[in-house]
Amino acid sequence: MQTLAQTLKQQATSDSLTQLIFTLAETSKAISKAVRHGALAGLLGATEQENVQGETQKKLDIITNDMLKGALKGDNSVHGLASEEEDDVVAVNQGGEYLVCFDPLDGSSNIDINSLVGTIFSVLPAVEGELTEQSFLQSGRNQVAAGYVLYGPSTMLALTTGHGVQLYTLHPETDEFLLTDANMSIPKDTAEFAINMSNQRFWEAPMQTYIADLLLGKIGPREKAFNMRWIAAMVGDVHRVLSRGGIFTYPTDNKNPLKPYKLRLMYEANPMALLVEQAGGKASTGYENILDIDPQEIHQRVAVILGSANEVDTCLSYHDIDYSEEPSL
Ligand code: F6P
Ligand code: MN
**Structural domain ending residue among the three candidates 181, 215, 250:** 181
Establish whether residue 115 lines the binding site of ligand 1, counting it when its CB lies within 6 angstroms of any ligand atom: no
% of residues, the chain, pLDDT over 70: 98
The CATH number of whichever domain residue 77 belongs to comes to: 3.30.540.10
At 213 the pLDDT is 98
- Ligand 1 centroid to Cα of residue 224, in Å, is 28
Indicate if 149 and 211 belong to the same structural domain.
Answer: no
Q: Per-residue pLDDT for 302 more than 70?
A: yes
In this structure, are 209 and 153 located in the same domain? Answer: no
pLDDT at 308 over 90: yes
Please say if the pLDDT value at position 94 is more than 70: yes
For the ranges 21-35, 59-73, 138-152, 315-329, the lowest mean pLDDT is seen at 315-329
Does the beta carbon of 253 sit less than 6 angstroms from any atom of ligand 1?
no
Residues 171 and 208 in one domain: no
Give the β-pairing of 98-106 and 90-91.
Answer: unpaired
Q: CA quadruple 314, 317, 323, 325: dihedral positive or negative?
A: negative
Is the pLDDT at 329 greater than 70? The verdict is no
Considering 181, 210, 231, which residue would you say is the last residue of a domain? 181
- Rounded to the nearest angstrom, the gap between the alpha carbon of residue 231 and the centroid of all alpha carbons in its chain is 13
Average model confidence (pLDDT) for the chain? 96
Q: Are residues 172 and 256 in the same domain?
A: no
154 is in an annotated binding site: no
Residue 109 pLDDT greater than 70, yes or no: yes
Q: Tell me if 328 is assigned to some domain.
A: no
**Domain assignment of residue 51, yes or no:** yes
Interior/surface letters 121-137, b for 16+ CB within 10 angstroms, e for the rest = bbbbebbeeebeeebbb
Confidence of residue 48 (pLDDT cuts 50, 70, 90): confident
Q: What is the pLDDT of residue 139?
A: 98
CA of 61 to the centre of ligand 1 (A): 14
Model confidence band, residue 327 (pLDDT cutoffs 50, 70, 90) = low
Tell me: the pLDDT tens digits for 278-300? 999 999 999 999 999 999 999 99
Q: Is residue 64 part of a domain?
A: yes
Residue pLDDT, tens place only, 95-108: 999 999 999 999 98
- For residue 273, report the distance from its CA to the centre of ligand 2, in Å: 14
Alpha-carbon span 304 to 318, nearest angstrom = 15
Q: Do both 17 and 120 map to the same domain?
A: yes
Query: Is position 186 within any domain?
Result: no
Residue with the nearest Cα to atom 12 of ligand 1?
A: 232
Instruction: Output 49 or 271, whichever has higher pLDDT.
Output: 271
Closest ligand 1 atom to residue 268 Cα is 1
What percentage of residues in the chain have a pLDDT greater than 90? Answer: 89
Same domain, yes or no, for 107 and 205?
no
CA-236 nearest atom, ligand 1? 6
Question: What per-residue confidence (pLDDT) applies to 53?
Answer: 79
Position 139 in a domain: yes
Q: How far is the CA of 116 from the centre of ligand 2 (A)?
A: 12
- pLDDT tens digit string along 239-279? 999 999 999 999 999 999 999 999 999 999 999 999 999 99
Last residue of a domain, one of 181, 200, 234: 181
Q: Region 67-87: what's the mean pLDDT?
A: 98
pTM over 0.85: yes
Residue 187 placed within a domain: no
Do 163 and 207 fall within a single domain? Answer: no
- Residues near ion ligand 2 (Cβ under 5 Å): 103, 106
Whether 96 and 208 share a structural domain: no
Tell me which residue range forms the domain holding 113: 4-181
Distance CA 182, CA 322 (A): 43
* Count of the separate structural domains present in the chain: 2
| Residue 325 domain-assigned (yes or no) | no
Pocket test for ligand 1, best of 65, 106, 110, 119 (most atoms within 8 A of CB): 106
**Residues 128 and 267 reside in one and the same domain:** no
CATH code (residue 248):
3.40.190.80
Q: Tell me how far apart the alpha carbons of residues 44 and 88 are, in angstroms, rounded to a whole number.
A: 26
Contact 146, 275 (CB under 8 A): yes
Q: What is the mean pLDDT of residues 195-214?
A: 98
Using a 6 Å cutoff on CB, does residue 106 contact ligand 1?
yes
Do 162 and 223 belong together in one domain?
Answer: no
Is 189 annotated to bind ligand? Answer: no
- For residue 217, tell me if it sits in a domain: yes
